[in-house]
Each structure stands twice: as structure tokens, then as C-alpha cells.
Structure 1
Amino acid sequence: MSTPESRRFAQPSAAEQAAVDAAIETRHSMRAFLPRAVPRETLEELLRVASRAPSGTNTQPWQVHVLTGAAKQRLSDRILAAYLDPEQNAAHKEEYAYYPQQWVSPYIDRRRKVGWDLYGLLDIAKTDKARMQQQHGRNYQFFDAPVGLIFTIDRLMQQGSWLDYGMFLQSVMVAARARGLHTCPQAAFTQFHRLIAEELRLAPEQMVVCGMALGYADPGAVENSLLTERAPVAEFARFIET
């Protein structure tokens, strides 16, 4: 019988290569999910697989808080209430800068395009601030996914561990796709890290990295038809041979 150990040095078959490629290429950020539960054993298995992500000297800096049912609803309700209240919203700030302080091309162009492409699908006009706020607020409901993940890291870990964390997050999303699930990684949760820490009783040394919605995507939701563009390889890669 084939085992992970016996497969370590084996040449992948064409079918195995295609399966890996498909899991990566079909990973898209979904913003509408079906009310279909994900078995706990499935969640445990995909997290086990994702834990094979590399990390410097095997530090494994990730901590995952898996929320379902009433626990997920309580967190969502609390954050959404703070988000919709202007005074409370203004009192909550991110602990770390996810985006640059100064935007330049091509990054600002890509950011604007994905935003307007999404709003266009949802028929939200550029002047409709109320609907924009409502749509952004869906982040805090995990887009109605049955599973909400909150990721934390020990505050003493440095930039290298955050690089490791990104590889772990990608592994979670790819492992989810291999099981017919979809995800949406969400930096929006970082603004409300204090509420998250209180609700989840996080230790003081734990810092919120991001959230993630996980479940079975709603194929009939128009927002899930959004397919973001990627730059061609020639635009971001240099091949140096001599």
C-alpha cells in the first residue's frame, strides 16, 4: 500500500499532477456559501495535511481557532455590531499594516479592478456607500459559511514566521479544495482583534493574523462567478541562465 513515506521520492503520475494543479487553480475567494455542515473529521484531516507546510527550523507558528454553530454566530454578531456603529468602528484599529501606506501602480490598479468587478456583479454603484458597507459587513458573517477560522500567531515571532504562515494558509485552502470545499481568506477581521481576543479568550501573547470562511460554495451566487486576473509569468519572473 502506498504511504506518504513511500511516495516521498516517487515521480508523480499525470493524474496526481493534474489533481494538485486543479486544487490550486480552482481556489478562488468565495463570498457566498451553502448552509451545509462540514464534518469535524474533514476539518481535522485538512488541517493535518496543511500542517505539512514548511516553516523555518520547523517552528510551526500557526494556531487555528475553528468556529461553528453558536460560537461562530456570537463572534459574527459582536463584530458586525461594532462595524455598523460609527463610534465603535472608529475605536477599532488593525494591529499590523496589511496594505501599504502609499499605493502605486500596478498594485492600486489591481486593487481597484477587483473591487469594481465585484461591485459590478452585485450591481452596486460607485456612489452607493450603504450597499458597499453592507457587502463588506458580510465578511464578519464569514459570508454565511458554516465554518469560520481565526488564525493567530505568537507575538514574539518575526517576519520569517509570517512568511511561513502564508504557506500554511495556502495549504489549508488547497487541502480544502481537494475535499470539494471552498474558502475566502479575510484580512477584514484584523481591525477587530480586541473583540476576537475577548470572545475567544486568547492568551495575551496571541496576535490575530486573519480569518477565513470555509464551506461549500453556493454555485448560484453571482459574486462567486468573479474570477480575478493574474499577471502572465513573463511579467513577474526572470529566468537567469548565464
Structure 2
Amino acid sequence: MQVEEAVKQRKSVRAFKPDLVPLSEIRAILEIARAAPSGGNLQPWRMIVITGHEIEAVRSIAMHSLQENPLGQAGDYPIYPPKLNEPYRTRRYLVGEALYAILGIAREDSVGRLAQMSKNYEFFGAPLAIFFVIDRAMGHGQWAHMGMLMQTICLVAQERGLATCMQEAWAMVRDSVGQHFGLAPHEMIYCAMAMGYEDTKAPINQLRTGRAHLDEIATFLGFASQEEQAISLS
């Protein structure tokens, strides 16, 4: 599989088969992905990979935490800014509506939507999950570097026949889960990633989100003069 193909095929999978992923396979993926870019070679991350009874323990902690505090524990590191402006608000709204439409969950069905949201804390049935931990002293640049590691893991997994879903929803219970893992005071969980084999029969996995047109997000400068120079040299 070429890199281009892996990038295009990768998506957020929200229904997995129960088939287990061998430890040798996940180690092979992470061994490759650890070559991801890192500014100043800080490599300001740590990964906690869980499966089996540990997944069940973390699920239980998350649900108990949210029952006690439905607003979550995002604290100073919210998933989204408090007030999204345009076009970001509309983009987020549209993907949510598309997801619930595939599942046949009406807008007014708050119970159904909440039930679907809670599946985040079940890793959507994935048999494996990775938690990404960062030092609290790190800034936005280092968070971006960790994102490059995560994307690299996703692409390597895609090439090897595994599906993934990056889950910022775990920020809502990061304190409780961090205590469970025994993180040091200077460490914090950024998010988790579900990993496993895609349930291709699940309707929710039909969702493919669109992207902004290239000309909305990219500006090209200096190319006219470059072309003129090429013509004059020909």
C-alpha cells in the first residue's frame, strides 16, 4: 500500500470486530511509528497500550466518573474552544448530523444521541486502545508533534489492515484515568486511540467526512513569476 492510498483510506472507525490484535503486531506498528517527526527530537510523549481486563477497568472508571460529573474533567484543556466561530461551528455540526442520520437517530432523540456518545468510552468495541500521555510543561508545539506521532500510527495500522479512531472524548475523564494509570503529577492524558479490525457491516462505518476545498485552506504565492522565469529561460 502506498502512503497516498493509506491517507485516503484512513477514517475514524466507530464499530470494531472483537478479534484480538496480537502484541507482536501492535509492537511492530509502534516500532515503525516512533520514527515520526519530533521538534528538537524531544519526543514528549508516552503511550499506554491496553487490552483485555484493563480495557474493562478503564471503561468502568470512565462511566463512573461521568456519572459523578457529567460535565467531565476537560479543565484547562478543552476539546474545542468554548465558542466555535465559523466555518468551524458548521463543520462540526454537519459531521454530527451525518453520523446520527446514518444511525437513524433523530435530532430530538437526546437519549439515543447520548447512548451513541457513550460508546466512545467502550472504544466502540475495539479490543485494543492506546492512551497518549504528555508532560504538562509542554506547549502547543509539542502537542502538535504528538499529533504527528498519532497520525503516523494510524497510517501504519491502515497499511497493515487495522482500523483506528482517535478519541479526544477521553479528555473528559483524563484525571480519573490518569490516576488509574498512576501518572506522575507532571503527566496528563491527551486522548486515546481505539484500534482493531473494522466491522465493515456496521452502518456507522459508512460515514466519510468531507474536507474543505484546497483553495479554501491553501494560498499559493510566487508561482506566476516562477513560470515567467521558466519561459524566459526556454
TM-score, length-scaled by structure 1: 0.88
AA of the residue aligned to 1:113 = L
Matches within 5 A, 1:160-179: 160-179=141-160
Matched AA of 2:9: T
The partner residue of 1:180 within 152, 161, 177 is 161
| Cα 1:226/1:137, change in 2 over 3 Å | same
Q: When the two structures are aligned, how many residues end up with a matched partner?
A: 223
* Structure 2 counterpart of 1:195: 176
Counterpart in the other structure of 1:49 = 32
How many angstroms does 1:152 deviate by? 0.5
**SS at 2:69's partner residue?**
helix
Deviation at 1:101, TM superposition (A): 2.1
Q: Aligned pair in 2 of structure 1 residues 92, 209: CA closer, same or farther (>3 Å)?
A: closer
CA distance in 2, matches of 1:201, 1:95: 20
Where do 1:51-200 residues align within 5 Å? Answer: 51-83=34-66, 85=67, 87-90=68-71, 92-200=73-181
Cα distance in 1 between the residues matched to 2:115 and 2:82: 25
- Name the stretch that deviates more: 196-205 or 172-181: 196-205
* Structure 1 residue 90: Cα displacement: 3.8
Task: Tell me the distance in 1 between the aligned counterparts of 2:15 and 2:46.
Answer: 25
- Residues in 2 aligned to 1:218 and 1:94: alpha-carbon distance in whole angstroms: 34
Q: Shift in Å at residue 91 of structure 1?
A: 6.2
Distance 1:187 1:173, change over 3 A: same
Answer whether contact 2:65 2:176 (CA < 8 A) is retained.
no
Alignment partner, residue 15 of structure 2: 32
Structure 1: runs of 5+ lacking an equivalent = 1-17
Contact 1:80 1:141 in 2 (8 A): no
Instruction: Give 3-state SS (helix, strand or coil) of 1:218's partner.
Output: coil
User: Is 1:206 the counterpart of 2:187 in the alignment?
Assistant: yes
Unaligned runs of 5+ in 2: 226-234
Q: Which residue of 2 aligns with 1:239?
A: 220
Over the aligned positions, Cα root-mean-square deviation in angstroms equals: 1.3
C-alpha distance in 2 between matches for 1:173 and 1:82: 28
Counterpart secondary structure, 2:2: helix
Q: For 1:65, what is the secondary structure of its paired residue?
A: strand
SS of alignment partner, residue 116 of structure 2: helix
Tell me the equivalent position of 1:7.
none
Moved more, 149-158 or 94-103: 94-103
The corresponding residue for 1:14 is none
Q: Distance in 2 between matches of 1:106 and 1:77?
A: 36
Residue type at the aligned position of 2:91 = R
Paired with 1:91 and 1:115, the residues of 2 have a C-alpha distance of 20
* Preserved contact between residue 21 and residue 196 of structure 2 (Cα < 8 Å): yes
Shift of 1:92: 3.3
Distance, in Å, in 2 between the alignment partners of 1:192 and 1:157 is 20
Q: Percent identity?
A: 37
Residue aligned with 2:119, SS:
helix
Superposition TM-score, scaled by structure 2 size: 0.91
Distance 2:175 2:188 in 1: 10
Summarize deviations over 1:59-104 as a string: whole Å, max 9, x none: 1111110010000111012212332x2x432463444023122212
